[in-house]
């Protein structure tokens, strides 16, 4: 006889409670080991445990190991790159010593008395009438990259050349003979000994004429008056080697001068200096903002041919004229290009003087 709680013929097919309900689930050993929760045993549950189950430490994650390996590979790559950088067989070329500056200074003697008068009228009647004032007359050409120098490096070289022209030809304290520092700061250290010798012990030997480095007047005789000097000229550049860039400067400077000891109303006169410079730059010069001076040719007048110009320029002022003597070759300082004569003195072209 069946019990009161059992159906007469057992559990109906397909209803819960039969063996088929869990037949598809396999609780093998791997499944049990992978479980994150583990039930305490009956003995353990008799203790003070408040929970019936506990968490099991899961297997070590592979993701953290892969991340650690990636970090190690990155560190290895950086270390290798740093090591190869230190042992790179290519090294930049060493800084080449600068050559001594070769100088030429040519005084230009007037054909008669030096014209004098009001500064504005003198300038208006001279070839400098259309020239620009001071540094505005030193214009940079349109830069273009060369085979081994970028456009930015070309601009840097041209800017240094302009800075040197301003410091050595337009700086008031330099013109007055009070300092040489602005120009000296822009010269390659290899040439500083030659520069200092030219300033301290000038000589007309093709190496140590101070007038080839900068324009300055004897303040005991001459003062530079207003208006500011007029300037006209050109700058050019050319790559001469993979690590060498040359800049050529060809400029004419026109100064208004008065006697240092005379009254402020004394007649003024014009003094013209034609400077042709060749400057050289290597990559270290560009980085340090300095230049090597290769050649400097100066034609300046009106001066007397016999004047000693090694230590500075010696202008003839308004109304003065050179002493009688040999007649030098006619030379125009406003004509660009190389010096018009290889002689040590030239004759100032009357066309370069203010018109009567």
The two beta strands, 102-109 and 346-348, are parallel
Q: What would the mean pLDDT of 147-161 be, rounded to a whole number?
A: 97
Compute the distance between CA of residue 56 and CA of residue 34 in angstroms, rounded to an integer: 9
The 10 Å CB-count burial string (b at 16+, else e) for 215-247 is bbbeeeebbbeeebbbbbbebebebeeebbbbb
Report yes or no on 89 lying in a domain.
no
**Which residue from 127, 202, 130, 138 is spatially nearest to 169, judged by alpha carbons?**
138
Whether residue 199 sits in one domain with residue 251: yes
The 10 Å CB-count burial string (b at 16+, else e) for 295-307 is bbbbbbbbbbbeb
Q: Which segment of 20-34, 242-256, 267-281 scores lowest on mean pLDDT?
A: 20-34
Report yes or no on 152 lying in a domain.
yes
Report yes or no on 12 lying in a domain.
no
Confidence category of residue 262, pLDDT binned at 50, 70, 90? confident
Burial of 266 (0-12, 13-18, 19+ CB in 10 A): middle
Whether residue 51 sits in one domain with residue 185: no
**Which residue from 300, 124, 95 is spatially nearest to 212, judged by alpha carbons?**
300
Going from the C-alpha of 167 to that of each of 159, 162, 209, 243, 327, the distances in angstroms are: 12, 9, 17, 26, 34
Confidence category of residue 64, pLDDT binned at 50, 70, 90? low
Query: Is 90 exceeded by the pLDDT of residue 91?
Result: no
Compute the distance between CA of residue 168 and CA of residue 161 in angstroms, rounded to an integer: 11
The pLDDT tens digits of the residues spanning 202-231 come to 988 889 999 999 999 999 999 999 999 999
Looking at the chain, the whole-number percentage of residues with pLDDT higher than 90 is: 57
pLDDT of residue 79: 73
Whether residue 234 sits in one domain with residue 346: yes
Report yes or no on 95 lying in a domain.
no
Q: What would the mean pLDDT of 142-156 be, rounded to a whole number?
A: 95
For residue 139 the two structure tokens come to 């214009």
205: left (phi over 0), alpha (psi -120 to 50) or beta: alpha
Q: Which segment of 119-123, 223-227, 344-348 scores lowest on mean pLDDT?
A: 344-348
Compute the distance between CA of residue 148 and CA of residue 350 in angstroms, rounded to an integer: 46
Whether residue 78 sits in one domain with residue 162: no
Whether residue 206 sits in one domain with residue 119: yes
pLDDT of residue 88: 47
Query: Is 70 exceeded by the pLDDT of residue 274?
Result: yes
Whether residue 263 sits in one domain with residue 198: yes
The pLDDT tens digits of the residues spanning 164-182 come to 999 999 999 999 999 999 9
Q: Which segment of 63-72, 86-95, 96-105, 228-237 scores lowest on mean pLDDT?
A: 86-95
The sign of the torsion formed by the CA atoms of 221, 304, 168, 255 equals: positive
Q: How many CA atoms lie within 13 A of 206 on its CB side?
A: 4
Compute the distance between CA of residue 105 and CA of residue 80 in angstroms, rounded to an integer: 58
101 CB-near residues (< 8 Å, 6+ apart)? 191, 194, 207, 212, 213, 293, 294, 295, 296
Whether residue 255 sits in one domain with residue 147: yes
Report yes or no on 96 lying in a domain.
no
The overall average pLDDT reported for the chain is 83
Whether residue 132 sits in one domain with residue 46: no
Of 57, 84, 111, which marks where a domain is finished?
84
Whether residue 177 sits in one domain with residue 62: no
Report yes or no on 225 lying in a domain.
yes
Range(s) of the domain holding residue 167: 102-352
**Cβ proximity of 258 and 351 under 8 Å:** no
**Cβ proximity of 122 and 328 under 8 Å:** no
The pLDDT tens digits of the residues spanning 4-52 come to 545 555 555 554 555 555 555 555 566 556 555 566 666 666 665 555 6
Spell out the alpha helix ranges (H) of the chain: 29-34, 42-45, 62-86, 119-124, 151-169, 172-175, 181-184, 192-200, 210-213, 283-288
Query: Is 70 exceeded by the pLDDT of residue 134?
Result: yes
Report yes or no on 4 lying in a domain.
no
Whether residue 106 sits in one domain with residue 42: no
The two beta strands, 244-259 and 269-281, are antiparallel
The whole-model pTM stands at 0.71
Count of the separate structural domains present in the chain: 2
**Cβ proximity of 245 and 291 under 8 Å:** no
The pLDDT tens digits of the residues spanning 323-333 come to 876 566 667 77
Whether residue 253 sits in one domain with residue 121: yes
pLDDT of residue 239: 96
Please give the torsion angle defined by the CA atoms of residues 306, 309, 311 and 315, in that order, rounded to the nearest 10 degrees: 100
pLDDT of residue 89: 47
Report yes or no on 97 lying in a domain.
no
Whether residue 115 sits in one domain with residue 71: no
Of 84, 119, 135, which marks where a domain is finished?
84
Q: What would the mean pLDDT of 132-146 be, rounded to a whole number?
A: 95
């Amino acid at each position: 006889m069946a019990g009161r709680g059992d159906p007469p013929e057992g559990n109906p097919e397909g209803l819960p409670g039969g063996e088929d309900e869990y037949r598809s689930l396999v609780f093998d050993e791997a499944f049990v080991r992978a479980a994150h929760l583990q039930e305490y045993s009956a003995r353990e549950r008799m203790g003070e445990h408040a929970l019936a189950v506990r968490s099991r430490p899961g297997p070590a994650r592979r993701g953290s190991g892969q991340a650690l390996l990636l970090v190690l590979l990155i560190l290895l790559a950086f270390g290798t790159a740093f090591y190869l950088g230190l042992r790179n067989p290519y090294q930049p070329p060493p800084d080449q010593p600068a050559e001594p500056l070769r100088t030429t200074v040519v005084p230009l003697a007037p054909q008669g008395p030096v014209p004098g008068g009001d500064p504005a009228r003198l300038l208006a009647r001279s070839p400098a009438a259309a020239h620009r004032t001071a540094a505005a007359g030193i214009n940079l050409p349109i830069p273009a990259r060369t085979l081994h120098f970028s456009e930015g490096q070309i601009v840097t070289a041209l800017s240094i050349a302009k800075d040197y022209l301003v410091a050595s030809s337009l700086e008031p304290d330099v013109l007055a003979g009070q300092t040489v520092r602005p120009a000296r700061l822009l010269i390659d250290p290899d040439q500083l000994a030659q520069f200092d010798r030219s300033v301290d012990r000038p000589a007309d030997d093709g190496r140590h004429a101070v007038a080839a480095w900068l324009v300055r007047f004897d303040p005991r005789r001459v003062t530079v008056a207003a208006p500011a000097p007029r300037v006209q000229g050109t700058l050019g550049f050319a790559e001469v080697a993979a690590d060498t860039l040359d800049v050529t400067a060809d400029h004419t400077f026109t100064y208004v001068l008065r006697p240092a000891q005379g009254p402020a109303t004394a007649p003024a006169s014009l003094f013209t200096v034609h400077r042709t410079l060749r400057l050289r730059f290597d990559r270290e010069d560009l980085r340090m903002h300095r230049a090597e001076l290769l050649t400097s040719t100066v034609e300046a007048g009106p001066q007397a041919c016999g004047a000693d110009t090694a230590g500075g320029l010696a202008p003839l002022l308004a109304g003065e004229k050179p002493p009688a003597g040999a007649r030098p070759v006619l030379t125009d300082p406003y004509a660009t290009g190389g010096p018009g004569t290889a002689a040590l003195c030239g004759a100032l072209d009357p066309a370069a003087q203010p018109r009567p």
